[in-house]
A and B are shown apart, each in its own frame.
Chain A
């Protein structure tokens, strides 16, 4: 397959040269950090989602929501790492259906987050008494979040098994 102009540009960047030069040491390290980020994301956001869905009802939703900034930190770290991965081997990601599906589920999770913070759902979370039952709308958002993040993990893991059969 011929190299497209966008890929020629990616391969002309300093970032690509850096990843390429230090690849043997950098790649396992970045993958490990990527797993740390995901563990933090699933741990915090997943706990909040499970609580909203009815597990551990003794925890006020507002209190467990304080975990979310850590999940966001993990998410931002992983996006940055993802950009570095992409610049290292652009064709291995761009022509990869697992990677494309992963972006799709990241978009689903992102839109879901916007729905949560952009609507009155977030205000409800902040004021909901500890013992009160969680409104259905928030449960749907939590369930969508949980499924979307697990799907992101599944697609991410599948990238390896769906690599295009060529290296540039």
Chain B
């Protein structure tokens, strides 16, 4: 494992992402954040509508937002891979990183289920919502909250491990 991580970490691509250029790490991490805001934000809006917020908004046309979410996911996945290549040891030795990956799978899976079984259900706006609709929406909201927190705390838990002391900033 260590030799593989060292191999990745010393590759040209990894070194380029870590270089001082604003076009490298800062741009990649910013795109990762923009993607997160659109994917999580768009999904949260769908969840809130299912839970009864803005009830005049029909659910069926909201499915048109889903491709935007998948576009955001593509950006997040591509930039996430680059960030992982830049700092493989930092990520893969942190248990929180694996929790974050599980939360990604859960949150994305819920977007897929909600889009398929609720937004695209026949006559969704004429009939009452499926019995599990609100449960899915609450699970989705919880997954996004946990995922965003996990993503942010990765930057701090890593330092705690490296230095053995609570880090500042």
Interface residues of A (CB under 8 A from B): 23-24, 27-28, 31-32, 35-36, 38-44, 46-47, 50, 55-60, 62-64, 66-67, 70, 89, 150, 153-154, 157-158, 160-161
Contacts and interface: CB of A to CB of B under 8 A. Distances in A.
Contact of B38 (A36, A46, A67): A46
A20 to B, nearest CB: 10
B131 to A, nearest CB: 25
Considering residues A46, A59, A153, which has the most beta carbons from chain B within 10 angstroms of its beta carbon? A59
Cβ-closest 8 pairs across A and B? A43-B41, A58-B61, A56-B64, A66-B54, A63-B56, A42-B37, A24-B166, A42-B41
Considering residues B37, B42, B62, which has the most beta carbons from chain A within 10 angstroms of its beta carbon? B37
B56 A35 contact: no
Interface in B1-57: 22, 26, 29-30, 33-34, 36-38, 40-45, 48, 53-54, 56-57
Given A43-B40, A158-B26, 7 more contacts: A35-B148, A39-B40, A39-B41, A63-B54, A153-B34, A153-B37, A157-B30
B90 to A, nearest CB: 16
A136 B38 CA distance: 24
Interface size class of B (residues with CB under 8 A): 35 or more
Interface in B142-169: 144-145, 148-149, 151-153, 155-156, 166-169
A68 B121 CA distance: 27
Contacts of A64: 54, 57
Contacts of A35: 36, 148, 151-152
B41 A62 contact: no
A64 B65 CA distance: 13
Contacts of A150: 34
6 contacts: A27-B169, A39-B37, A39-B40, A55-B68, A153-B30, A157-B33
B152 A67 contact: no
Main secondary structure of the interface of B (DSSP, over half): helix
Contact of A67 (B37, B45, B155, B166): B45
B58 interface: yes
Contacts of B45: 43-44, 47, 67
A35 B54 CA distance: 23
A28 B168 CA distance: 9
A55 B69 CA distance: 13
Contacts of B168: 23-24, 27
Contacts of A60: 56-57
Contacts of A154: 30, 34
B120 interface: no
A157 B26 CA distance: 8
Contacts of B167: 24
